Amino acid sequence: MTEVLQRVTIVTETFAPEINGVAHTLTQLVAGLRARGIKVQVIRPRQNAADVSKSEEKLETVILPGMPIPGYKELRFGVPFTGRIGTAIKAFQPDAVYVATEGPMGYSAVGAARRAGIPVWSGFHTNFHQYIEHYRLKGLERLAYRYLRHFHNRTHGTLVPTRIQRDQLEAHGFHNVRVLSRGVDSSTFTPAKRSAELRKSWGLGEQDVVLLYVGRIAGEKNMELALATYRRLRNSDERIRMVLVGDGPELPAIREHYPEIICCGMQRGEALATHYASGDIFLFPSKTDTFGNVVTEAMSSGLAVVSFDYAAGHEHIATGKTGMLAPFGEDEAFLLAAETLSDSPNLLTTIRQQAREHAEGISWSSIVDEFVQRLSGASTKVTHDDNRKAVTTKNSAPVQ
């Protein structure tokens, strides 16, 4: 019998208002928990000097010192103050603990929850073992992967966003891996927010075709493929323009070498939704994301997404119907998929409409319900995303 969940502790290295997939997912989960009358405690590192607990209104927040993450200056990882973490958890008396990130703070939190006899689940939100190669630490890949397996196997179970990732982690010795997908706010991200005025400010008219990228502008996101796609399409069609939304270490070089590319910086809320809706083709060239919330946000905004066949693309895109997929790692196929869309205006229009229709059926509410079920101890209940159906992984992202 499932117990009633009343109090939950979430431990994370990143949280709103930071802009990344983990922070966004946790924001949705926390909002959903609170809407169901569940009290939430958040334990996280301080991200900057002005960072105070008031930023999480009505949450019980514990902020601990943090240290910069190499190669990722926007974020900091939490220092493992085991005693303070344990004291905070005991004082809050949660029914369950969810550790979203695998840093020192998360490791200490897992130990504290275990010692207190509190059920603790972990989330596999970021492929750090794959990110390492982009920060000149390739020799540590195998060591990092062993650490991740050890970390997650100390918890009651691990929540992942896709079936493919579940199967991959289980094949590499991870225990009790369960799928917790992602939703999208289709009322915020909607084609209705398309702005002729914004496109005009970019120097574009309705006849122009915008290749849109939203996210961190960095090596691990495979920006070179996005730029290669832009170059190929632009060479054959002068209507093609590229718009980047986001920030990151590769942005200065892009601005220098591609002065014609429109760089909009970080966008939030309504402004972000307007930028999405004002694009046409969305490029998701990443090979390292565990999911990619930007994919479903772009679909909800009425864009045709080009992605590799993994993560959110594998879960939500049917090629030629709700987007375009390329076999994982096959760059030429990715380029051809984008080229097909730019050369086929009728197909582009149809896909954009069908992508929006599909996204309207992706609800955060149902995701939160399942999250509550997991944390409440209903780990043996079979749900729709645990049904073991054959998943072809030949062209999917490899686990190293």
- Using alpha carbons, select from 81, 82, 12 the residue that is nearest to residue 47: 12
Percent composition of the chain: helix, strand, coil (DSSP 3-state, to 5): 45, 20, 40
User: Which class is domain 191-359?
Assistant: alpha beta
Assess whether pLDDT exceeds 60 at residue 73: no
149 exposed, middle or buried (CB, 10 Å; 0-12, 13-18, 19+)? middle
Range 169-191 average pLDDT: 95
99 band by pLDDT with thresholds 50, 70 and 90: very high
Q: Report pLDDT for 64.
A: 85
Contact 334, 287 (CB under 8 A): no
**Region of poorest pLDDT, from 24-38, 52-66, 128-142, 320-334:** 128-142
Name the residue type at position 3: E
Is 10 in a helix, a strand, or coil?
strand
| Architecture (CATH level 2) of domain 7-183+363-386 | 3-Layer(aba) Sandwich (3.40)
161 exposed, middle or buried (CB, 10 Å; 0-12, 13-18, 19+)? buried
Whether residue 249 is preceded by a cis peptide bond, meaning omega within 30 degrees of 0, is: no
* Residues 247-270 pLDDT 10s: 999 999 999 999 999 999 999 999
Sheet holding 177-179, edge to edge: 60-64, 39-45, 7-11, 96-99, 120-123, 157-160, 177-179
Query: If you write DSSP's letter for every residue of 121-152 in order, what string do you get?
Result: EEE--B-HHHHGGGGT-GGGHHHHHHHHHHHH
* Residues 355-390 pLDDT 10s: 999 999 999 999 999 999 999 974 333 333 443 333
Stated as kind and residue range, the H or E segment containing 99 is strand 96-99
CA distances 393 to 67, 109, 171, 264, 390, Å, are 37, 33, 12, 36, 9
Q: Report pLDDT for 9.
A: 98
Q: Report pLDDT for 396.
A: 39
CA distances 55 to 26, 106, 135, 173, Å, are 15, 21, 31, 39
**Domain 191-359 in the same topology as domain 7-183+363-386:** yes
130 band by pLDDT with thresholds 50, 70 and 90: low
> Could you give the count of Cα atoms lying within 13 Å of 134 in the half-sphere of its Cβ?
21
The sign of the dihedral angle between the CA atoms of 141, 145, 151, 155 is positive
Show the CA angle centred on residue 131, arms to residues 234 and 229, nearest 5°: 10
With b meaning 16 or more CB within 10 Å and e meaning fewer, what string describes 102-138? bbbbbbbbbbbbeeeebbbbbbbbbbbbbbbbbeeee
Global pTM value: 0.86
236 exposed, middle or buried (CB, 10 Å; 0-12, 13-18, 19+)? exposed
State how far the Cα of 227 lies from the Cα of 291, in Å rounded to an integer: 22
Q: How many CB atoms lie within 10 A of CB 262?
A: 16
Average pLDDT of the residues of the chain = 87
81 band by pLDDT with thresholds 50, 70 and 90: confident
Q: How many CB atoms lie within 10 A of CB 76?
A: 22
Range 77-104 average pLDDT: 89
Task: Show me where the domains of the chain are located.
Answer: 7-183+363-386, 191-359
Contact 254, 218 (CB under 8 A): no
